[in-house]
Structure 1
């Protein structure tokens, strides 16, 4: 079983932390867009603070370990592995609390090609521990604005984890989904749960719009975020996101398996 030191070594070896594939240029562009309140990087969050670019950069340096030097404008960005380990500990702590309460949960991802396995393992463990893993609005169509215009997607669940697919293009229950930052899927799922008068989730677990969209609506949410996802860390700083785990969210899917084992073990959910 991984200890914190072994986990830290894995994070660096897999480039989940340390120098990561996300470029400094990409991160700084996201901070500029966030300061300009561009919805593409707000991910459904409506920030309370001013959050000008220098303030966003300082926060990301504090929460992720990126350089706080505004003159550092190129090369790979950097995540402090110790911050990742600490955030995963907090993540596991919130899982323990949900299990203790046998509370309902909702899991969703905008990175299904990379992160579905991570969330699916959590869904199985939470279900086995007595938590209801919710699947509201299954099959519902959602119109999402993309850089190619408005596209219609279908909300689908694979192994208890929600993602969106091109409507009519994928078989139901398959594992291929679409990469999206939109908060519309989680809003659709929560609206459907409320309309059906089933319990709302006590916790939403995911990334991108799944976390920020739920947190903005007052539902506890936590998840994974890269250096170019400032919205989750701003949400955490403002109290609308419980835990934002800094790591590269687009490496090979099998590289997240040790993180899954570590989190489940620390949450006393090992199977």
Structure 2
């Protein structure tokens, strides 16, 4: 069993928490864009409340541990490891409950280069516990607006985890998929399930648009988010995201393995 002390030390050493790669400038820009309802930052969430930039700064200070000083405008951002640990416990509890009830679960990531292995281990464990890990609408094409214009991607699954690929990309671990913040993939997956007559997921696990897009449609969703992704924490504050775990979502993929072990142990899903 990985102890809390060992995991806390790992979070800091790997820069999953503590000073992280996301800059203060980038986080503050995200808060400004979210306050302006920029769809590239709201990630499929339609906020119920009016969120000003200062409201978001206070929220992120509470949820992540970033500085709430509006005059602090440069340097690395900071995540409080205690908040990460607390959220990981809540995340694990939702997985434990899902496994106990053997509910259908949908996994999806917009960060496949970093987080695919993390989610895949969780999907394997829930499948072994009797949950149906869903993989709807595989191969369907999605037009997603990017900073390079509209691009067409296809929905794919690796070890039960949904992601998007550019057309012609090889289906291999060497090309795990494309980075996206869009909620369109989860909408397409859910549409595919509805067309097929279900079952629909009782829990969606992921990040970015997968969590916010599902939560906006009324599905229970849990996931991981960095300091420059306020949408998940707004969703949690408004009751449409069950758990948002604050951590750096862009470090080396192997740095998430201790988190996987910790979550599976806490969820009583270790094999």
Alignment TM-score, normalising by the size of structure 1: 0.99
209-218 vs 2-11, which deviates more?
Answer: 2-11
- Once the 2 structures are TM-superposed, how far is the Cα of residue 100 of structure 1 from its aligned partner? 1.0
Q: Give secondary structure in 2 for the equivalent of 1:191.
A: helix
Distance 1:139 1:168 in 2: 12
1:244 aligned to 2:231?
no
Given that residues 112 and 175 in structure 1 are in contact (C-alpha distance below 8 angstroms), is that contact kept between their aligned partners in structure 2? Answer: no
Post-superposition Cα deviations, 1:13-64, rounded to whole Å, max 9, x if no partner, equal: 1000000000000000000000000000000000000000000000000000
Against the structure 1 CA distance between its residues 6 and 107, is the aligned structure 2 distance closer, same or farther, given a 3 Å change threshold?
same
- Once the 2 structures are TM-superposed, how far is the Cα of residue 173 of structure 1 from its aligned partner? 7.9
Distance 1:23 1:196 in 2: 44
Given that residues 227 and 247 in structure 2 are in contact (C-alpha distance below 8 angstroms), is that contact kept between their aligned partners in structure 1? Answer: yes
Corresponding residue for residue 235 of structure 1: 235
1:136 aligned to 2:124?
no
- Once the 2 structures are TM-superposed, how far is the Cα of residue 2 of structure 1 from its aligned partner? 1.1
1:71 aligned to 2:71?
yes
- Once the 2 structures are TM-superposed, how far is the Cα of residue 148 of structure 1 from its aligned partner? 0.8
Corresponding residue for residue 2 of structure 2: 2
Alignment TM-score, normalising by the size of structure 2: 0.99
169-178 vs 114-123, which deviates more?
Answer: 169-178
- Once the 2 structures are TM-superposed, how far is the Cα of residue 4 of structure 1 from its aligned partner? 1.2
Distance 1:175 1:242 in 2: 31
Post-superposition Cα deviations, 1:99-157, rounded to whole Å, max 9, x if no partner, equal: 11100000000000000000000000000000000000001100001111110000000
1:16 aligned to 2:16?
yes
- Which 5+ residue runs of structure 2 have no aligned equivalent? none
Corresponding residue for residue 167 of structure 1: 167
1:104 aligned to 2:107?
no
Root-mean-square deviation (CA, aligned residues, Å) is 1.0
Given that residues 12 and 81 in structure 1 are in contact (C-alpha distance below 8 angstroms), is that contact kept between their aligned partners in structure 2? Answer: yes
Corresponding residue for residue 198 of structure 2: 198
Post-superposition Cα deviations, 1:234-258, rounded to whole Å, max 9, x if no partner, equal: 0000000000000000000000000
